[in-house]
Structure 1
Amino acid sequence: MRIFFLLILMWLAVPNEGAAQRITSSNFKMLQRIDDSLQTYGDRMLDDTFATERLRADSMFTRLLVRAMRVPYSFYFSFDSMQMAPVLYPEDSSFRIITWHIPMNDDNYRQRGVIQYNTPDGSIKFTPLFDVSDYSEQPQDSIRNNQNWIGAVYYKLLQHEVNQQKVYTLLGYDENNDRTTRKWIDILRFDEDGQPQFGGDFFFFNNDSIFPRGSKRYVLEYKKEGRARINYDEVDSLIVIDNLVSESNEPEKKYTLVPGGDYEALKWDKGGWQYIDKLFMNNRGDGNEPKPMLILKDDGSFDDEALDKQTEKNLKSAEEKEKAKAAPTTPKKTTPAKPTAPAKRSR
C-alpha cells in the first residue's frame, strides 16, 4: 500500500507539458506496448496464487499506467487490452474513469481508480482515487472526494444536467469479502476547482422505504453467490434493481439476501433518481432471455420449494468454490508480454 501512495505522489508531481501535437507515431507505439503489459500484470494481479505476487503485479500495473498517462494526448489512446480495468467515458467525453480491484488476503478486496481529463492541448491532468470503504462504517452518509472514495469497479456511466451543472451517475460493484458482494450507484460531480465530488442528494425514495434518509449513494449488499443485478435499461431509461429476500427470513443479515424475482427501479426525473418500488418488466428480444426464479408468491409469502432450490444452488456453488480453493496448484512463472505493436483504434 505504501508503494501505491508513493507512486501517486510521483504521479501528481508530473508537470503539465506544453502544447503538443496529438499522439505521435513513436508515442503511440509505446502506448501499445504499455497496453499489452498492463493486461499481463492485470491478469497476474487477479489470478496469482500468492498475495505478495498480486501486490507486486498491482505495483507494476500502477507504474505502467502512470507512465502511459504522462504521454501527451494519451487521453485519446483507448487501452483496448486492459480488460480487467473498465475505461468509461461520459457523453461529453470531458474525462474518463478507470477502476480496478486487487484481491487481498482473506477474500478481502481493495479498489483502485483514476480520473483522466480531456485537455484541449493534450496536457497532463488526472486525479487518483483512494479507496477507504474498509474503514467506513457508514459509507452512504456523506459526499466524498478522491481522498476518501468509496471504491467500486464501475461498469456504467450516465450523464444528466441539473441547474446547468453536469451530474454523472456511476454503477459499480465491490466484491467486498467472502460472505457478501456490493453493487453501488454513486454520483460524480466536479466542484468549482474541477475536483471530483462523489455522492449527493439525488436519490428520492418513499417515506416508508428502507433506504436510509439522507443517503448520498445507493448500495445493494447481498449473499456472495446471490448474483443480484443493478443494470441500466437503455429502452426505458431505468436503473433496474433486483429485489432481495432473505433465505432464512433474517433480512438484517446481508449474507442471507438473494434475488426474489421481483424488480425495483430508479428513473431520472425532476433532477434526480425517483424510486419505483414495483417494476413490471416487458418481454423483449426473441423470448429466450433468462428468467429469475421467483422466491415470493403473488401474496408476498415465501415459495418454500423455490427457496429451497435457490438455497441448494447457492450451497453447491459455494462448495465448488471452496474445492477449487483447496485444490493444490502449481504457480505458473509468468513474465510480461514482449513489446508488440498490434493494430489498435484510438478514440
Structure 2
Amino acid sequence: MNNRIIKYLSAGLLLLATFTGSNHLQAQKIAAADKAVLQKKEDSLQLFSARMVFDSITANRFRADSLFVKSFVRALLVKNSFYYPFDSLNISKLYAPDSSFRIFTWQMKKDEYIYHQKGAIQMQTKDGSLKLFPLFDVSMFTRNPMDSVRTRLNWIGAIYYRIIQKEHNGKKYYTLFGFDDFSVNSNKKWMEVLSFNEKGEPVFGGPFFSYKDDSVKKPVQPRFSIQYKKEARTFLNYDPELDVILVDHLISESDEPEKKWTYIPDGDYEAFKWQNGQWVHVNKLFNQMRKDGDFPKEALIYDDAGNANERQLEEASQRNLEKAKKQPAPPKKKGN
C-alpha cells in the first residue's frame, strides 16, 4: 500500500473520533426508517470512498469520486442526516465544537505530483433539511495562497484533522487544522480561521495571524502554514492545557533555508495565543532544546514494514511536548 496514501488517511482521520462522538449524535434522534435508508446508502458510499483513495488506476479513482459525491449528496438529503456519523467512509468528518456545522474533507490523487482537495460544510438546521456548502479547491492555480480572505469558491484545500472554537465581540470563529500532501518531496500543514458572514455563508481567513510581539515585525496574515520534508514529523495543534496553538520550530537540515523540502523540527516550539480576536505569534514558547543530534529519526517515521505509522508518531510527538512543558527554564546568565 502506498505510504503517502496511508499518511494522508492517518493525518486526516487521526483525531476524528474525538469530534464525531455520541454527544453529537444523541443531540437529536433520527427516525428509524431514515436511519435504515442512511445505513443502506453508507454501504455504497464506503465502497466508492475506498476506491477513490486506494485504487491504483487514476481513472478508477476519479470515477469513484464522481459516484461518491453524487451518492453522498443524496444521502445527506435524508432528514436529519446531520446526526448520522458515516463512520465507515474514508474521508475526514469534523463537527464544530458547538455542533452548528460539520465539515467533510478528502483528496484526490492524480499522480505523484498532483493532489486535489475536496470538501463540503453541512449546517445544522432546525427542521433537519439539508443546507450544504461545497468547497472548491484552487490551490494549484493560486500563486500566493496567503494573500487574501476567501470563500467556498476559492478555498485553499486541506484535509482537516481538528477544529477549535473561539469568540470575539460576540462573534464565533472556528480555527481549522489541516494536512496537505503538497508535493513529491514536501508536505504542508495549514491553520485557517473559518467564520460566517451576515448571509450565513462560510468565509475563510481574515486578519487573524499577528506577529506584533515579534522582534522582527511581519504583516498580519489571513492564514498560516508550514512546509516541511516529506518524511519529517511535525506538530501543529491546539493544546487545551496551555490554551495555545503549538507549532514545531523548523530548520533546514542541509542549511538551505530557501528549500522548504529540507525543513525538519529542531525540538523547539513556537506558539499562537488568542488575544482580542487574533492569534498572536509567540516566537519561542519553551526555553529548552533537544540534545544535540536528537532530531526526528527514521525509526519514528516508518514502521518495520516501511509504512508511515501516524498514530505512533503523534504519540511520540505528544511525549516530547509533555517533556518540554515539564522542563524548567534555564537560569539567566549573570549580567542579563
TM-score exceeds 0.5 = yes
Corresponding position of 1:270: 276
Corresponding position of 1:174: 180
Between stretches 44-53 and 207-216, larger displacement belongs to 207-216
Deviation at 1:104, TM superposition (A): 1.3
- State yes or no: 1:74 paired with 2:74: no
Contact between 1:167 and 1:189, CA under 8 Å: does it hold in 2?
yes
What amino acid is aligned across from residue 70 of structure 2 in structure 1? R
Relative to structure 1, the CA distance from residue 34 to residue 210 in structure 2 (aligned partners, 3 Å threshold; closer, same or farther) is: farther
Corresponding position of 2:228: 222
Q: TM-score, normalised by structure 2?
A: 0.76
The separation in 2 between residues aligned to 1:175 and 1:164, in whole angstroms, is: 36
The separation in 1 between residues aligned to 2:153 and 2:114, in whole angstroms, is: 20
Contact between 1:174 and 1:182, CA under 8 Å: does it hold in 2?
yes
Relative to structure 1, the CA distance from residue 316 to residue 268 in structure 2 (aligned partners, 3 Å threshold; closer, same or farther) is: closer
Relative to structure 1, the CA distance from residue 314 to residue 213 in structure 2 (aligned partners, 3 Å threshold; closer, same or farther) is: farther
What amino acid is aligned across from residue 224 of structure 2 in structure 1? Y
Please, which of 233, 248, 252 is the counterpart of residue 246 of structure 1? 252
Q: TM-score, normalised by structure 1?
A: 0.74
The separation in 2 between residues aligned to 1:60 and 1:76, in whole angstroms, is: 23
Deviation at 1:71, TM superposition (A): 1.1
What value does the CA root-mean-square deviation take over the aligned residues?
2.7
Contact between 2:252 and 2:263, CA under 8 Å: does it hold in 1?
yes
3-state secondary structure, aligned to 2:107: strand
Contact between 1:264 and 1:278, CA under 8 Å: does it hold in 2?
yes
Q: For each residue in 1:220-273, what CA deviation from the matched residue of structure 2 results, as whole angstroms up to 9, or x when unmatched?
A: 111111121212212112211111010111111111101111111112122221
Corresponding position of 1:345: none
The separation in 2 between residues aligned to 1:213 and 1:179, in whole angstroms, is: 29
Corresponding position of 1:104: 110
3-state secondary structure, aligned to 1:268: strand
Relative to structure 1, the CA distance from residue 57 to residue 216 in structure 2 (aligned partners, 3 Å threshold; closer, same or farther) is: same
Contact between 1:266 and 1:275, CA under 8 Å: does it hold in 2?
yes
Relative to structure 1, the CA distance from residue 266 to residue 315 in structure 2 (aligned partners, 3 Å threshold; closer, same or farther) is: closer
What amino acid is aligned across from residue 149 of structure 1 in structure 2? W
3-state secondary structure, aligned to 1:106: coil
Q: Which structure 2 residues correspond to residues 281-292 of structure 1 after superposition, within 5 A? A: none
Q: Which structure 2 residues correspond to residues 34-53 of structure 1 after superposition, within 5 A? A: 34-53=41-60
Contact between 1:223 and 1:258, CA under 8 Å: does it hold in 2?
yes
Relative to structure 1, the CA distance from residue 126 to residue 267 in structure 2 (aligned partners, 3 Å threshold; closer, same or farther) is: same
Deviation at 1:36, TM superposition (A): 2.9
The separation in 2 between residues aligned to 1:274 and 1:117, in whole angstroms, is: 29
Pick the structure with greater CA Rg: 1
The separation in 1 between residues aligned to 2:100 and 2:231, in whole angstroms, is: 37
Q: Which structure 2 residues correspond to residues 1-347 of structure 1 after superposition, within 5 A? A: 23-82=30-89, 84-206=90-212, 213-280=219-286, 294=290, 303=292, 305=293, 310=297
Deviation at 1:185, TM superposition (A): 0.4
Corresponding position of 2:317: none
3-state secondary structure, aligned to 2:112: helix
3-state secondary structure, aligned to 1:273: strand
Q: For each residue in 1:93-143, what CA deviation from the matched residue of structure 2 results, as whole angstroms up to 9, or x when unmatched?
A: 111111111111233211110001111011221100000011111101100
What amino acid is aligned across from residue 245 of structure 1 in structure 2? I
Corresponding position of 2:315: none
Alignment coverage as a number of residue pairs: 279
Q: Percent identity?
A: 45
The separation in 2 between residues aligned to 1:152 and 1:211, in whole angstroms, is: 28
Q: For each residue in 1:138-186, what CA deviation from the matched residue of structure 2 results, as whole angstroms up to 9, or x when unmatched?
A: 1011000000000011111111111221111101111112111010000
Deviation at 1:40, TM superposition (A): 2.3
The separation in 2 between residues aligned to 1:107 and 1:209, in whole angstroms, is: 37
Between stretches 175-184 and 32-41, larger displacement belongs to 32-41
